[in-house]
Structures are given as structure tokens and as C-alpha cells.
């Protein structure tokens, strides 16, 4: 999930998504005064821009609903670990982390429905978390994995926690999980996300390529994505923006996230690790304390200098957190761990 430092200052002053979009239009006019109109007569971009990467497809089903098809990659050896991405992302978000895991774990990275290469949900399948947990459980069965370790980021982190509550995960590692916001924080986050999705749709490909080549523009575009925007190379910035722009299920998933009580209660008998970037500007790290208050036996791991998507800031650190969280010898509940050293 990417967005703009400019949006942060607007939101801090109580601005809304429309103000941020207006600022983006001004900036675009300066950089690309003769920009091309965006394609797509229906106003929606839903085409897949993810290059195929040894994807397989598997079907799950929630009770009384139609099948759900999920694209995934499976590699490595050892105990199975399922990776779930965040809103506006896809399985390739984990690309820098996966190679550091596959010698010790079997990694199953999935595209959630309507993201990456997975088709969107059938209109008859609800988008609530209970239904997602149900069909994911059937996907695990179809893949032949029982209670795998589940690692999720943001939206995927929230789903991972709910899978742990349902007894479908052997352990849960949640990176900046969604849902632990106050009402004001949720409005702030939604303003940024809505402006991000709508704003990037103003960028035709030619404008996007020009935009990401300059350091100030990359800093604007990746202000809530990276903890240190200078680490963001132009191709990575362009890929993230396309990923956000072309997520077919973005709006519907965001609407579903307005439901109250996205997470409540504890996760007994399941080891839980909650990791949070100390420079996360989309879901501020103070939310980690609320998550741990609900799950008192969870390990709380700060990720120094990381933004909202720590897999891009510090893939080695994230890999170490995952390996430790899924290590049978490290899985005692109730132990707070110190941050790993990079």
C-alpha cells in the first residue's frame, strides 16, 4: 500500500482525500502538462499486471457459497508457512523475503481474491472475515496442509489472527495487522487509502514512469510505504503503484473493512507474534500495544526504521522474525522478544 507524504500533511491538518487528490493533480500538471487520458471506458482498471511466476490455482469453498479460486506459489522444504498480503498488494510483495525462508520452510504465497492473479470473489460470496476464514480453511485442506503457520501483513495480518482464533493456524505472525485503530485513526487510514487508489488512477503509464525517476517524486509516492524512501528504486516504486492501481477488489475490500469489531478476544493455545514498523505512517505503531492488550501472550517485535510494508524496507529482518516465530523451540507463549539486529 503506497501513498504520499503530501497526504500525510493534509491528513494531519484534518484534510480529506479530495484535498490530497487536488494536490496530486497540481503536481501532475507540472510534471506532465500533456498527460494522456487513462484507458478503460468503464473507469475501472481491472487487468492483471503481475507477470506470471510459476502460479498454480486452487479452489476453496465456504459453506453454502460458491467456490473461491486462489493463485499461489509453493516452494521450499520444511514446515508449511502461508503468506498473506495486504490491501492493494499481491503475493509478489514477499519476493525479497521468500528466498531467505525456503531452505528451512515450505512457503505458500497466495493472492487473495481480486488481487494479483486471483479472480475476484463471486458476487454471492460475502467479503466478511468469517467467510474468508471458512474458505481459507478449505484451501488449506485442498493444499494438504493442516494448521500451517500463517504470516500476514496488514489486511493479511488481520486474517491471519482470525485464522488463529479459528484453530486453523499452527502459529500466527502478523505484520502491522489492520483493525486495531480508533475511529479517528480508521478515518485517517481510509482517507489515505482512498486518495492513493483514486490518485494513482490519474497516472497513465507514461506519466508513472516519468514520475518515479525523480527522488522527490518517489519520496512523495512512497512516504507511507517505506520507512526510508531513499531505499525505493524507480522500478520498485512503479511496480507498487501499478499493483495498487490494478487491484480489482480494492474498493469492495475497503468497504468491508468498515465493519465493527474486526478483531476481539484472545487467541488461546496458538503462538502469536506481532511485528510493527517503527516508521509506519499508515497504521501507526501505537496500535501494536492495543493488539497485544487483546492477545496478552503475543510477542511484540518492533521493526526499527521500517514503514508500513517492512518486507520492502528490511526483508532480512522480516525473514528472521518469521523463522523465529515458526521455530518449534521458540514457540513459548508470553515471551516478549527484543528487536533483531540488522
**CA separation for the pair 22, 24 (Å, rounded):** 5
Closest CA to 200 of 85, 314, 38: 38
Q: Which residue has the cell 485513526?
A: 185
Picking from 154, 157, 173, 122, the residue whose alpha carbon sits closest to that of residue 337 is 173
Question: How much of the chain exceeds pLDDT 90, in percent?
Answer: 54
Average pLDDT, stretch 59-70?
92
Per-residue confidence (pLDDT) for residue 230, from 0 to 100: 63
Residue 268: per-residue pLDDT? 87
Cα separation, 272 vs 310, whole angstroms: 18
* pLDDT computed for residue 205 by the predictor: 74
Q: What pLDDT is stored for residue 37 in this prediction?
A: 29
Give the per-residue pLDDT at 337.
Answer: 40
Residue-wise burial string across 52-77, b where 16 or more C-beta atoms lie within 10 A, e elsewhere: eeebeebebbbeeeeebbbbbbbebe
57 forms bridges with which residues in the sheet? 71
Mean pLDDT of 301-316: 93
Residue 195, pLDDT score = 77
State residue 224's pLDDT score: 65
Residue 334: pLDDT over 50: no
User: What pLDDT is attached to residue 217?
Assistant: 66
Of residues 143 and 35, which shows the higher confidence score?
143
Regarding predicted confidence, which is higher, 10 or 36? 10
Residue 238 confidence (pLDDT): 74
Q: Give the containing element (helix H, strand E) for 320.
A: helix 315-325
Mean pLDDT value across residues 47-71: 78
Which residue has 479530495 as its cell numbers?
18
Regarding predicted confidence, which is higher, 207 or 11?
Answer: 207
d(CA 132, CA 232): 32
| pLDDT for the residue 219 | 66
pLDDT band at 13 (very low <50, low <70, confident <90, very high): very low
Tell me what the mean pLDDT of segment 30-35 comes to.
34
pLDDT digits (tens, 9 = 90+) for 285-304: 999 999 999 999 999 999 99
DSSP reduced 3-state for 162: helix
CA separation for the pair 45, 211 (Å, rounded): 20
pLDDT of residue 338: 40
Asked which of 140-154, 248-262, 291-305, 327-341 is least confident by mean pLDDT, the reply is 327-341
- CA 263, 180, 113, 16 torsion-angle sign: positive
Q: What is the pLDDT of residue 5?
A: 37
Cross-strand partners of 76: 106
Lowest mean per-residue pLDDT among 219-223, 265-269, 306-310: 219-223
Strand order in the sheet with 171-175: 56-61, 67-76, 105-111, 79-84, 149-153, 171-175, 272-277, 299-303
Residue 18 pLDDT > 50? no
Do residues 226 and 312 lie in contact, with contact meaning Cβ atoms separated by under 8 Å?
Answer: yes
Beta pairing, strands 272-277 & 299-303: parallel
126: region left, alpha or beta (phi > 0 left; psi from -120 to 50 alpha): beta
What element of type H or E holds 299? strand 299-303
- Name the band, by pLDDT with cuts 50, 70 and 90, for residue 34: very low
3-state secondary structure 92-111: HHHCCCHHHCCCCEEEEEEE
* pTM reported for the whole predicted model: 0.80
Q: What's the pLDDT score for residue 53? A: 63
Of all residues in the chain, what percent carry a pLDDT higher than 70?
Answer: 75
Q: Is the pLDDT of residue 197 over 80?
A: no
Amino acid at each position: 500500500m503506497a501513498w504520499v507524504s503530501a497526504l500525510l500533511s493534509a491528513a494531519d491538518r484534518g484534510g480529506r482525500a479530495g484535498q490530497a487528490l487536488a494536490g496530486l493533480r497540481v503536481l501532475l500538471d507540472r510534471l506532465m502538462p500533456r498527460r494522456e487520458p487513462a484507458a478503460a471506458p468503464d473507469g475501472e482498471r481491472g487487468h492483471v499486471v503481475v507477470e506470471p511466476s510459476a502460479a498454480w490455482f486452487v479452489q476453496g469453498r465456504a459453506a453454502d457459497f460458491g467456490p473461491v479460486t486462489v493463485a499461489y506459489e509453493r516452494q521450499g522444504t520444511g514446515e508449511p508457512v502461508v503468506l498473506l498480503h495486504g490491501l492493494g498488494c499481491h503475493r509478489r510483495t514477499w519476493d525479497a523475503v521468500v528466498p531467505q525462508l525456503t531452505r528451512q520452510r515450505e512457503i505458500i504465497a497466495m493472492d487473495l481474491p481480486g488481487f494479483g492473479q486471483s479472480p475476484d470473489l463471486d458476487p454471492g460470496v460475502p467479503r466478511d472475515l468469517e467467510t474468508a476464514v471458512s474458505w481459507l480453511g478449505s484451501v488449506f485442506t485442498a493444499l494438504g496442509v493442516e494448521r500451517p503457520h500463517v504470516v500476514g501483513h496488514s489486511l493479511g495480518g488481520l486474517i491471519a489472527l482470525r485464522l488463529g482464533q479459528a484453530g486453523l493456524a499452527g502459529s500466527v505472525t502478523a505484520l502491522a495487522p489492520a483493525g486495531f485503530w480508533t475511529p479517528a485513526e480508521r478515518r485517517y487510514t481510509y482517507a489515505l487509502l482512498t486518495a492513493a487508489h483514486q490518485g494513482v488512477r490519474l497516472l497513465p503509464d507514461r506519466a508513472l514512469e516519468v514520475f518515479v525517476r525523480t527522488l522527490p517524486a518517489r519520496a512523495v509516492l512512497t512516504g507511507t510505504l517505506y520507512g526510508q524512501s531513499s531505499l525505493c528504486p524507480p522500478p520498485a516504486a512503479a511496480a507498487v503503484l501499478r499493483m495498487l492501481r490494478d487491484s480489482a477488489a480494492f474498493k469492495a475490500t475497503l468497504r468491508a473493512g468498515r465493519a465493527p469489531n474486526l478483531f476481539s478476544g484472545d487467541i488461546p493455545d496458538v503462538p502469536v507474534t506481532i511485528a510493527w514498523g517503527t516508521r509506519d505512517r499508515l497504521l501507526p505503531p501505537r496500535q501494536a500495544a492495543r493488539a497485544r492488550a487483546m492477545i496478552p501472550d503475543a510477542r511484540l517485535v518492533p521493526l526499527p526504521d521500517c514503514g508500513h510494508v517492512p518486507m520492502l524496507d528490511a526483508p532480512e529482518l522480516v525473514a528472521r522474525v518469521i523463522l523465529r516465530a515458526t521455530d518449534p523451540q521458540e514457540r513459548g507463549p508470553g515471551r516478549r522478544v527484543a528487536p533483531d539486529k540488522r
